[in-house]
Structures are given as C-alpha cells and as structure tokens.
Amino acid sequence: MKSILLILVTLILISCSEKENTKVLIQSPDKKIQVFFNVIDTEAFYHVKFDSIQVINRSRLGFEFENLPALKSNFKIAGLSKTSVNNSWQQVWGEKKIVVNNYNQAIIQLEEIDGLKRKLNITFKVFNDGLGFSYEIPKQKAIDSIYISNEITEFELSHDYSTWFIPANFDSYEALYQNKPASEIMSANTPITFESAKKDFYLSIHEANLTDYAGMTLKKQDTLKLNLQVDLVPWPNGVKVKAKAPMKTPWRTIQISNSAEKLIESSLILNLNEANKLKDVSWIKPTKYVGIWWGMHIGTHTWIQGKRHGATTDNMKEYIDFAAANNIKSVLAEGWNTGWEKWGQPKAFDFITPYDDFDLQEIADYANKKGVKLIGHHETGGDTKYYEKQMEKAFGLYKSLGIHMVKTGYAGAITPSGQYHHGQYMVNHYRKVVELAAKYKLVVDAHEPIKATGIRRTYPNMMTREGARGMEWNGWSDGNPPEHHVILPFTRILAGPMDYTPGVFDLLYENSPKRVVWNSNDKGTSRINTTLSKQLALFVVFYSPMQMASDLVKNYKSQPAFQFISDVPVNWEYTKVLNAKIGDFVTIARKDWDSDDWFLGAVTDENGRTLDVKLNFLDEGETYEAQIYKDAENSDWKTNPYAHQILKQKVTNKDNLSLKLAPGGGQAIRFKVVL
C-alpha cells in the first residue's frame, strides 16, 4: 500500500510540474495587464487580466488549413524567450510627436509532440495600454505552401460588456455603429469597443500591421455567447490566406484602459508596426484642403462633363484663389478625368486624359503661382487590374506637374470578380498603391479602403483614409445622427486617421436651391445633423493629417466662423483627452506641432450638456487668448443649427472653462499665446 501511495504522489508531482511548465506570464511594464499563455491538454490558450480582473477568459489559438492537417493541438512548449523594451520614437507627422514604446515580450515556440512535429511561434507584446500577439509559421520541412481555411483565434469575453460595433462586412465599413450587449453580437468589423458594467475598464479589439494577409472580422461562436472568433475575409474559392513558410500574421490587438479618455490616447497600434521605411520624407506634408467634391454629393454639380460639371478650369481657379487667401494649402478636384460617363463598365477610367473643360496643365501652373498644391484624384470603380496597369504612368504625370497628393477610390464591386475589398488580394493591392506612390513622392488618401492598422508608421505617405460612414452620407440620405460623432473617436479612429471631411456651413442646403436628387437613398430630407459650432469642433476631435473643409467655398465667404478653419492646424505635438463618455460626449485638446498654440474641440450627442474642463494642459507661465466658437443659448441641431457666438477671453493653465453644448452641438477654441 505504501508503495502504491508513493507512486501516486510521484505521479501527481510530475503532473503538477508538467502543467507548471506549460504556463507563461507576460505583464505590462506597470504590471496592471497580465497575459497568461497555457498549453492545456496539448491545446494553446491565452487569457488576460487587468487590475486583477479577468477581462478575456481562456481563448484558443491555432490554424486550420485547406492543404495540411490543422495546427491547433498536439502542442508542447519547445522554447521561450523574454525581452523588455523601453524607448521612444518620433513620428513624421501625427496626433503626437513623440511615441513611447515600452513593452514586455515573450516569444513562445510551440512544437507538435509527435507526428510531423511542426513548429508554430506565438509572440506576445504587452504594453501599459494593451497587448498584441502574432503567429509565425517558421520555415520547416513539413510546411511549404500554406492555404489557411480558418484562423482559430478567440476572444472569450469575461463579461457581457456594453459594446460599440458595426456588423461584419467584407466590402464596406460605412455603417452606423450599434450599441448592444456583447451577447447579442453575431459578427463585427474591427475595431470593436467594450465598456465594463461599472465603467472601470474599456477594451477595444483590432489588428495591427495588416500585411499580405486577409482582413480580420469577428463572428460569434454558435454555442458560446461571449466567444468571438476571428473570421478572415476569403478569396473567391473560400481560402482565407495564401502564403508560403516562413509566414507571419498581423498582430491581434486588445487595447485596455481604465477610462474612455485613455483609449483615444493609446499608441498600441502604431507601436506594433515596423519603423519608417522611407529614407526621404521631406515631401510628406500634412495639409488642409478644399475642393470640388461636396457639390456632386448634394446634387448641385456632376462628376460627368456637361452643363453642371463641377471640375472645370474656371471652378478650380476659384477654389485655388480662395485657398490662397485663407491659409488652405491644397485643392482637390473629383471628376476631372474622362471615364465617369462609363461608370460600371470594364476599363472605364482614364487617369491621364482630362475632360475638355479641365485644363490640367493650366490649373497646375495657376496653383503653383498662388502657392497652392493640387490633390490628384483616382476613382477606380473597383477595377483594380486596369488601375494597376495605369498607375505608373498616372503617378508619373502627377510628379511632372508637382502634385504630391492623390485621393483614391474603390466604389463598386472589385474586379477581378469575386474579390472582396477586405480580402488578401485587395490588402496587397492597397499596399502596391502606397509603395508605388512613395516612389513618385505621392501621399495617399484612400477611400473605400482597407481599414487602418498603423501602416502609416512604416509608410508615412499613407496619410489618411475613409473606412467609415463619413460626411458624404449627409448629402444624399438621412445622414449621420449626432451620436455618430461621439462614437467614432472610440471605434474607427482608434485604428488611425479618418478623412471624415467636416466643415459644412450650409447645414440645411439653403444656399443650394437647385439640387438634383441623384441617389436612391435621398428621400428629400437630407441635411447636416449638427450645429455649425460642432462642425468646427470636429476639426480637432476627428484626427486627420489631410483635413478637408468640405463645403462649397461660396458658403465660407463673409463667414467670421471660417476663421477657426483657417487657423486650425492638422499636425499635433501633443494630444490630451479631457473628458469622454462613449456615445455621449468627448473633449480633446491638441497642441500645434509648429507653434505654442493649443486647440480644443468638444462635441455632444443629441443631448445638450455642460462640460467643465481644467486648462492645466496649457503651458505653465503663459497667458493665452481663448478664441471661442460656441453654440448660442438657443442653438439646437434640429431647430436652430446656425446660431453661434464668437468670444475672446484671457486664460492661463490655472483657469477652468465651462463648455455649454447645445443638442447636437459643440465648441471649438483656439488658445493663442499672448506675446
């Protein structure tokens, strides 16, 4: 009996020892975030704690393949290496100049216990503002070509969080965000953002460094109501990713904070991307711009040549003159090139030949004399193969004209047929555009894009993109509700800059009586669902290094409030979120990269409110003139959207301000140093 008991005790001790060896802990530098990796019954799992609270329960990791046995079990830990990094780096442009890069890393080398004995490495990086993990299938005899049918990455939520999301869509991110309990979500695009019941912590799931891989969406596991699993966007034949070993995946990211404010201030996505690959960045300049764009959306102009054509030589000169006189550095024209009349047909667009009423050379010369830069425009209609055949010549044309910016568009189904906007094929196409644009010293503003995942760090000419329901929806539909503007900073914009195109002053289109309905979504009720002051505040709240003042320039003339748009920068040395509640309100202060001035934007949803803010972000010892653009006492986005006040007062960093926001309103302030 004693010998049997001794054997049992020995087996228990061995078992405990083996289990202990299968556990890895990676903590954030401040030790508040703890990531646990385990191999349990030969399967790989992770879970996450924040401030000792479990926020992600045990979640599986691995792959299934079309051409190979699954790589999701039969694992042992074959090796482990840990490192710590604490440094900083400077952005070429950004919402902050200096980015702190401080994390603890673990590279876990997994190997199959028997059989093919294939290898899979998983790297975790844990920062104070969240974590990222990435898979690597190293070069090995048992694996060459890889056809991924399923990435088994799970996010098993520990609580039924309040969630802000848009349902998964493989072609578009242009939807209104929903707020539901996590248990009611069937699928989602990322970023997807969660709030705990006590509002004591916040999570946002996304991905970083999406390179040569399919875009990640999330889907509900059938039997587990709080388990979201990665669902990659497929190729036409159903394969998710085509690769060869060695292969690395994008980072799967979880931003974590104890406040909504800190979510916005996070640098996690940027830090998980590679450093700048462009040697010369002197030509990359953030810019404000106006352009021939809004008139087509509200139906006063057309993209196609004719009596109502927007992009004409005369119209462009008017916009260039306005820009030169109002501290606007750039001008865009859409509908300048032939092909718009063949929309939807194969090989429709010619990116070299202008319409007869648009003299590209004359306009370029005129802009150059006025000190204004042109933004080129390429709408592909989704015909990527035809666009790729023309890109080199089209980019070369822009370079010869001194144009350093291009806005691209992919409205419509992707050609080749069966490809999705967010699949691996298109991820690679978008990257080809960015890389070739860099060769010709062009910065990119992508519409109908792949989502932002921090690639702007590696290729800083990838400046901004749409990838959400932007201003244009207000031109031909019921538009974006007031709460949309206080959800985007905590969801879509966590991924990176957004070309929302704010700044419409003619909120009810009263100055455009001859509008023509052209879009089936337009029921005759289109308008902007904000006050005028909120339009100004969005220039600070919505970050983009290419920021458009989108209204017709005739609506800006003789408008004192346009002074704020003229003054506000698009490049920031520092960003501070002063207060925030997802879906309700947010106040953001930013310091100009090139001066000592600060700018503040505060916006609210459909409810009016008063927000008290401390000005302790202002520089010590300085006196500022606060130039305040605020809602009037009787302002209301529904009934009185235009009413506003412009005030001035002296302040220091010892002062407080009370910001009264109308329903659907906002407030914008420039803090100018008094010399």
| Integer Cα distance of 180 and 574 in angstroms | 33
Give all domains of the chain, ordered by start, each with its CATH number: 22-266 (2.70.98.10), 274-467 (3.20.20.70), 486-499+531-675 (3.20.20.70)
472 is catalytic: yes
Confidence of residue 224 (pLDDT cuts 50, 70, 90): confident
pLDDT in tens, 485-536: 999 999 999 999 999 999 999 999 999 999 999 999 999 899 999 999 999 9
Residue 8 has a pLDDT of 37
Whether omega for the bond prior to residue 191 falls within 30 degrees of 0, making it cis, is: yes
Residue 62 has a pLDDT of 98
With beta carbons less than 8 A apart as the criterion, state whether 611 and 585 touch: yes
- Beta strands 598-604 and 192-195 are unpaired
Whether residue 12 is predicted with pLDDT greater than 90 in this model: the reply is no
Query: Chain centroid to CA 61: how far?
Result: 26
Average pLDDT over residues 26-50: 98
| Integer Cα distance of 308 and 186 in angstroms | 45
Q: Which of 151, 207, 466, 472 is catalytic?
A: 472
* DSSP per position, 265-325: H--HHHHTSPPP--S--TT---EEEEEETHHHHHTSSBSSSSTTBS--HHHHHHHHHHHHH
pLDDT in tens, 168-217: 999 999 999 999 999 999 999 999 999 999 999 999 999 999 999 999 99
With beta carbons less than 8 A apart as the criterion, state whether 328 and 317 touch: no
| Integer Cα distance of 52 and 587 in angstroms | 30
Residue 437 has a pLDDT of 98
| Integer Cα distance of 671 and 649 in angstroms | 10
Q: How many CA atoms lie within 13 A of 196 on its CB side?
A: 16
pLDDT in tens, 100-137: 999 999 999 999 999 999 999 999 999 999 999 999 99
Average pLDDT, the chain: 96
pLDDT in tens, 15-31: 443 444 479 999 999 99
Structure token digits, residue 158: 């520990």
Structure token digits, residue 579: 């207060």
With beta carbons less than 8 A apart as the criterion, state whether 104 and 126 touch: yes
CA dihedral 181, 185, 190, 194 (to 10 degrees): 10
Residue 3 has a pLDDT of 42
pLDDT in tens, 571-605: 999 999 999 999 999 999 999 999 999 999 999 99
Task: Of 66, 144, 84, 76, give the one whose Cα is nearest residue 112.
Answer: 76
Q: How far apart are the first and last CA of the chain?
A: 92
Query: Chain centroid to CA 174: how far?
Result: 13
| Integer Cα distance of 513 and 566 in angstroms | 27
Task: Of 430, 419, 441, 432, give the one whose Cα is nearest residue 466.
Answer: 430
**Secondary element (H or E) of residue 5:** helix 2-21
Q: Return the SS3 of 641.
A: coil
With beta carbons less than 8 A apart as the criterion, state whether 571 and 284 touch: no
**pTM across the whole model:** 0.96
Average pLDDT over residues 275-293: 97
